[in-house]
Amino acid sequence: MKIGAKGKKILTKVGLELTRINFVMDYFLKWGEKEILKQLVVKNERGRPIGAQEEKYYVVTNLMKAFEKKLKENALAPTVRDWVFNKLIGDIILNWADNHPEAAERRKKELALPQFMTISPTQMCNLACTGCYAASSKKTAVTLDYDILDKVIEQKRDLWGSHFTVISGGEPLLYKSKGKTILDLFEKYNDNFFLFYTNGTLIDKTMAQKIASLGNVSPAISVEGFEEETDARRGKGVYKKILEAIENLKEAGVFYGISFTATRNNVDKILNDEFVDEFFGERGAAFAWMFQYMPIGRGPDFDLMITPEQRRNLWFQERHIIKDKGVFFIDFWNGGPISDGCISAGRKGGYLYMDWHGNMMPCVFIPYTVGNVKTDFFDKGKDLNDVLETTFFTKLRKWQENYSYKKLSSEAGNEIVPCPIRDHHAEFNKIARDSDATPVGKTAERSFKDEEFIKDFDEIGKKVAEATKDLWETEYQKIKTKEPSKAQ
């Protein structure tokens, strides 16, 4: 018997409604976990390093468990639950191929197919943190036109079937254009999930309620550890405001997380067990993103970068957080094995970045553009697919494939150092120089041709590769177990 689209919809609705019953939900999640384990670790059809498959299993199921815990504690606004079960699972995931035949075709052909975009709609910020990658402050008021933002979100959904958008800073809650705020965008694109990075200082009770009422939005609040470290980088009094924001979000039932930037000065203090237990215990954070300071943006400084030894030590602590503490935790660099290496330049399952001017870039941390989305693409009758076809993007994806993405486990390059610009700077620089990339900003311009800078940056990458080589070989490539240990 063939079930029509209407029948399918009714069945999905009934199934999802059943998950409101606790034991049905338990069964559903357990089945999901087993399926993920089977696909990633047992089958491992792409022959990826088994340790990386195991880590993917942990992070995905950690997120599922965080969500389940909140549901059972009745800690989520009804809008959040409904969005996840009805919109995300019912409409988006189960019907993805039917709704996006062109994207499904691209997926089949292994063409570039980004899963999400990160967009910084405004450079403006009410803080001015040390070493901000965006060089944001109150004085930097550059803002993207709302119509452009709108068109980009629409195109990425229609061309790539992408329903996930990351909004970065400046401070997104300060965005205003044509009478619209960022919340208007979240509301209009109810078929997108929005993760937005925020300094948290503008999330009062009213704002928290507004975010909760949307259901498709999750903030990641930037902290640098406890009060001393946070206020040292972000300004006096900021930590207290962050704690207030967290209470407001919890009260409103928002699914929220945190993000950190590790510098040489704070890396040994953030992420200790006390911090993790507090933020993922009583404060109720559900996920965490870790950035390591990059010498781009305001006042680039190699001395703020974490040392190769610190990066190695960080790897151990991060694995402890993921496997023993059961937290959804991703480090953009050390977490390379979880994402099969670098995900920039619109790689399949990856992403690309657009800044407040509309500059199209492969990644937030690659300050080189292939052009402005309006003047170089839309105004010339081109679309977002044309961004993916530029030489710079194409060459970067080729680099990713050759380094590790398309390699079997035994031949894959060390994915703890996955980053072309940070970990393999000389190779990156050659790609950028031999393509249609233009540096954005004075620092990028200077470093583009500064042989000393290129050499120093490359040297750091080589040292990190050396410091993590044994981990890559023993913990990822040659690991013997076929199933994750029962750590959780």
Q: How far is the CB of 126 from ligand SF4 (least distance, A)?
A: 26
**How far apart are alpha carbons 438 and 366 in whole angstroms?**
11
Residues 346-385 that bind ligand SF4 (CB under 6 A): 363, 365-366
Answer for which of 84, 134, 245, 343 binds ligand SF4 (CB under 6 A) is 343
The answer to the question of residue 114 lying near ligand SF4 (CB under 6 A) is no
Q: One-letter amino acid identity for 140?
A: T
Whether 57 and 40 have beta carbons less than 8 Å apart is answered as yes
487 contacts 324 by C-beta, under 8 angstroms: yes
Residue 87, classed as helix, strand or coil, is helix
Tokens of 455: 């050499």
Pick the closer one to ligand SF4 by CB: 92 or 290: 290
Residue 311 binds ligand SF4, judged by CB under 6 A: no
User: How far apart (Å, rounded) are the C-alpha atoms in residues 126 and 141?
Assistant: 11
CB of 252 to ligand SF4, least distance (A): 32
Interface with ligand SF4 includes 152 (CB under 6 A)?
A: no
Query: Of these, 131, 172, 346, 418, which contacts ligand SF4 (CB under 6 A)?
Result: 418
What is residue 32's three-state secondary structure?
A: helix
What gap in Å lies between CA 172 and CA 5, rounded to an integer? 38
Judged by CB, which is closer to ligand SF4: 365, or 453?
365
Contact with ligand SF4 (CB under 6 A) among 421, 437, 444, 464: 421
Q: Which is nearer to ligand SF4, 336 or 371 (CB)?
A: 336
- Using CB under 6 A, pick the residue from 344, 404, 429, 447 that binds ligand SF4: 344
Q: Which is nearer to ligand SF4, 182 or 460 (CB)?
A: 460
CB of 464 to ligand SF4, least distance (A): 12
Contact assessment for residue 206 and residue 215, using Cβ atoms and an 8 Å cutoff: no
Residue with the two structure tokens 């913990």:
475
- Specify the residue, 49 or 90, whose C-beta has the smaller distance to ligand SF4: 49
Q: Shortest distance, CB of residue 335 to ligand SF4, whole angstroms?
A: 9
Nearer residue to ligand SF4 within complex by CB, 322 or 338? 338
C-alpha distance from residue 29 to each of 68, 87, 361, 470, 488 (Å): 8, 18, 37, 35, 15
| 284 versus 418: smaller Cβ distance to ligand SF4 | 418
Query: Cβ of residue 363: shortest distance to ligand SF4, in angstroms?
Result: 3
Residues binding ligand SF4: number (CB under 6 A): 12
Smallest separation (angstroms) from ligand SF4 to the CB of 254: 27
**Residue number, 166 or 363, with CB nearest to ligand SF4:** 363
Beta-carbon contacts of residue 134 (< 8 Å; ≥ 6 apart): 120, 123, 125, 168, 169, 170, 297
Site for ligand SF4 in 312-341 (CB under 6 A): 332
Of the candidates 77, 132, 322, 342, which one interacts with ligand SF4 according to CB under 6 A? Answer: 342
As a whole number of angstroms, the distance between CA 312 and CA 306 comes to 10
C-beta of residue 306 within 8 angstroms of C-beta of residue 294: no
Should residue 419 be labelled a site residue for ligand SF4 when binding is judged by CB under 6 A?
yes
Q: Which stretch binds ligand SF4 (CB under 6 A): 88-96, 273-281, 403-411, 412-420?
A: 412-420
Regarding 431 and contact with ligand SF4 (CB under 6 A), the answer is no
Toward ligand SF4, which CB reaches closer, 371 or 420?
Answer: 420
DSSP string, 50-72: HHHHHHHHHHHHHHHHHHHHHHH
CA distance 389 to 392: 8
Here's the x/- map for ligand SF4, 288-307, by CB under 6 A: it reads as --------------------
Using CA atoms, how far residue 446 sits from 188, 266, 452, 456, in Å, is: 40, 28, 11, 14
CB of 400 to ligand SF4, least distance (A): 8
Min CB(304)–ligand SF4 separation in Å:
16
CB of 403 to ligand SF4, least distance (A): 10
What b-and-e string marks burial along 39-50, b requiring 16 or more CB atoms within 10 Å of the CB? ebbeebeeebbb
Of the pair 207, 304, the CB lying nearest ligand SF4 is at 304
Two structure tokens written together for 422: 């940070």
Q: Is 416 in the site for ligand SF4 (CB under 6 A)?
A: no
Of 40 and 419, nearer to ligand SF4 (C-beta) is 419
**246 vs 343, which CB is nearer to ligand SF4?**
343
Stretch 238-297 residues interacting with ligand SF4 (CB under 6 A): none
Distances (CA, A) of 94 to 5, 11, 85, 90, 305: 12, 12, 11, 6, 43
Q: Which of 100, 323, 422, 424 is the binder for ligand SF4 (CB under 6 A)?
A: 422
Handedness of CA 130, 132, 135, 136 (dihedral sign): negative
Beta bridge mates, 143: 122
Q: What angle do CA 459, 464, 470 make, to 5 degrees?
A: 135
Task: Give just the sign of the alpha carbon dihedral 257, 347, 352, 150.
Answer: negative
Residues in the site for ligand SF4, rule: CB under 6 A?
Answer: 332, 342-344, 363, 365-366, 418-422
